[in-house]
Amino acid sequence: MKEKLQYISNNLKMYRTRIGYTQEKVAKILNVSRATYCDYEVNPQKLKIETLQDIANIFKCDLKDFFVQFEVTESNIDNQNTNNN
């Protein structure tokens, strides 16, 4: 379980930074404080599945993508950007 929570934490930050959003920007879209969104990234156990789905929509990814471990490389990011265009 801890392993999956770590994947979620890492992937929230990865997807957010990949699209160039700050924690503040995502928080505003979700209508929560920056501190609350920061807490989601640090401690995703507090995150409701509905909120995680909203975040997936913002990041244009599938909900299931938060639950897997990715090796982040420049090639992976380039491929993701190409697929999303």
Tokens of 81: 């950007």
d(CA 36, CA 71): 27
Across all residues in the chain, what is the average pLDDT?
85
Question: Is residue 79 scored above 60 in pLDDT?
Answer: no
What the chain holds in terms of domains, given with CATH numbers, is 2-80 (1.10.260.40)
DSSP string across 9-70:
HHHHHHHHHHTT--HHHHHHHHTS-HHHHHHHHH-GGG--HHHHHHHHHHHT--GGGGGS--
Average pLDDT over residues 24-33: 97
> Cα torsion for 37, 69, 49, 43, to the nearest 10°?
-40
